[in-house]
Homo-oligomer: A and B are copies of this chain.
């Protein structure tokens, strides 16, 4: 069962940390239910697990099998919410070494998220002599980075397989009706999947944007959705026992008490990229109007030997949230030779499961003693079902949290600023005046 434990943060919280926020949480919850808050047009993710288009899901699973059968490599093209969710879930549920370990399913590379010629040519060269397919993911179809990557990989596909052959290897995930990518797909006859227009990029991992690559990797996407659906039923139910209410309230109270940095930690290395997904979710939802908790992430115990010193004794402006998988998938018994020089005699007969868990407990207490509030979110196992619960938990808590701050959690107006400057500097038509202004600086 998904459990949220605030006990190691209580010494840092006022008594009324939750009670004083119940009205705000009730209001926030109602805004999410009715879609009447700021950005309410982008709350389609709230009911997504119960509204899932079963016909599209069947087609998605069938398409995944086609991609598997015809591809050594799947190139996923997307940026931001159009790749972080899929990559986070893929690595968390398999391994950061998926591409080295996969045997029956294609390797999966995420690109379209860089303008580096070194990185793009590396991947182009890698797939040149392999059978590959492309899944291009972009709601608008007009974002520069994925557009460039799609141009390059589509040219390579057409070179290798001809225009007709390429058509069978291009899979488009985009808006149902609008945008240049939809237009192109219609024109060329590419297979398409839809991102509902009431779901924004960082909330799209449970749409085909996330699920198609995950299905290609052989992950049981129906179980991911089942986990999300069960979390949905629980988290939409109002009340102070609601773990998403508690998390949103606790982090809001910690932020207001002078802790503007939150560190997400996990004791499983495969969780690393989930931290990147979480950073977008919260950073992009709350980082506006001069507000918002700064989201950072660490991998424990590795980073106890890098960021651990700072967390223990640095500027006291942070709190941490730990995600725990209660039962690891593997076990590993330690069996040092009695009296050897390993210094591990005291661990003979113990399982690494136990050792890792004691590290977590010991660290939480050390950090509390050092002045760092510690929040703990536990799910049973590192499996698709529980991953679905985790995703929905963070999405829902983030919606509540943004409304508690009085913000629109569903827009990202600041992302335009660099694009506008970049277009001007690149000489894109229509940006001439802005270009002159920039060049004169």
Contacts and interface: CB of A to CB of B under 8 A. Distances in A.
A5 interface: no
Given A118-B382, A122-B101, A314-B291, A417 B356 contact: no
B363 A422 contact: yes
A342 B145 CA distance: 11
Give the copy number.
2
Contacts of A362: 418-425, 438
Interface string A179-192: 01001100100000
B306 A288 contact: no
A54 interface: no
Interface SS of A by simple majority: helix
B425 A361 contact: yes
Nearest to A184: B341
B288 A309 contact: yes
B359 A115 contact: yes
Given A148-B347, A183-B341, A317-B294, A312 B422 contact: no
B328 A118 contact: yes
A270 B312 CA distance: 30
A309 B412 contact: yes
A152 B289 CA distance: 51
A168 to B, nearest CB: 19
Interface in A119-136: 119-122, 126
Interface string A142-156: 111101101110010
Contacts of A202: 306
Interface stretch (A32-40, A206-214, A277-285): A277-285
A287 B370 CA distance: 12
B142 A329 contact: no
B415 A304 contact: yes
A107 to B, nearest CB: 8
A332 B428 contact: no
Contact of A302 (B79, B147, B344, B358): B79
Interface string A358-376: 1101110111011000000
Contacts of A279: 306-307
B332 A310 contact: no
A428 B113 contact: no
A270 B119 contact: yes
Contacts of A16: none
A294 to B, nearest CB: 6
Contacts of A288: 309-310, 313-314
A433 interface: no
Contact of A306 (B119, B284, B304, B309): B284
Contacts of A197: none
B289 A310 contact: no
Contacts of A305: 79-81, 113, 143, 145, 201, 280, 415
Interface string A389-423: 00000000000000000000000111101111111
A290 B310 contact: no
A239 to B, nearest CB: 29
Contacts of A308: 284, 414-415, 418
A346 B431 CA distance: 11
A284 to B, nearest CB: 4
25 contacts: A79-B301, A100-B126, A113-B301, A113-B305, A115-B301, A117-B330, A118-B268, A119-B269, A145-B301, A150-B342, A155-B335, A183-B341, A184-B342, A201-B305, A286-B310, A287-B309, A287-B313, A290-B314, A304-B415, A346-B426, A350-B426, A358-B422, A358-B426, A366-B418, A370-B414
